[in-house]
């Protein structure tokens, strides 16, 4: 059986979130990749650090951009935007580029509305609201400092 880099990335994300954000908690929602029709979670993780709750979808992708067609949780996540104290986004690891970023769902909406079908390095250069996560490569996976998520503002 082949290694699933994305699943290991999710484990590493959880460890780094708890390590870099003191007095926080994060829960991995039940993984529904077993093929049961009609069962779908809003995201991979729900985290909390006073006074904010985080709905976070973790994605690993090769190449310089992540296609929105692979973000099946978009419709559910966008419903959380605008609720006081709620932060909603995608933690994206572009594994071949050694880049980790946080992309708010509100930013994904703006990118989609402009007609673009993916998010990545070009959108950072274009000035979209995307947070680069401080990270150091350790063999295969990145060791990340997610404390910058504490600075997110309403709508991010």
> Per-residue pLDDT tens for 97-136?
999 999 999 999 999 999 999 999 999 999 999 999 999 9
pLDDT at 1: 38
To the question of domain 5-151 being in CATH 3.40.190.10, the answer is: no
For the chain, domain boundaries: 5-151
Residue 144 confidence (pLDDT) above 60: yes
pTM of the model: 0.91
Contact between 49 and 150 under an 8 Å Cβ cutoff? The reply is yes
Task: Of 28-37, 44-53, 67-76, 82-91, give the lowest mean pLDDT range.
Answer: 28-37
Per-residue pLDDT of 42-80, as tens digits, reads 999 999 999 999 999 999 999 999 999 999 999 999 999
């Amino acid at each position: 059986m082949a290694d699933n880099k994305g699943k290991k990335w999710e484990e590493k994300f959880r460890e780094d979130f708890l390590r870099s954000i003191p007095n926080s908690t994060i829960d991995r929602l039940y993984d529904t990749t077993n093929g049961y029709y009609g069962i779908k979670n809003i995201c991979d993780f729900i985290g909390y650090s006073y006074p904010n709750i985080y709905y976070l979808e973790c994605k690993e992708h090769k190449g310089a951009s992540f296609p929105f067609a692979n973000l099946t949780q978009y419709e559910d996540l966008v419903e959380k935007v605008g609720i006081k104290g709620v932060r909603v986004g995608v933690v994206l690891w572009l594994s071949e580029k050694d880049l980790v970023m946080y992309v708010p769902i509100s930013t994904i909406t703006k990118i989609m509305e402009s007609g673009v079908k993916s998010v990545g390095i070009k959108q950072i250069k274009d000035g979209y609201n995307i947070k680069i996560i401080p990270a150091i490569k350790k063999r295969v996976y990145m060791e990340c400092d997610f404390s910058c998520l504490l600075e997110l503002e309403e709508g991010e």
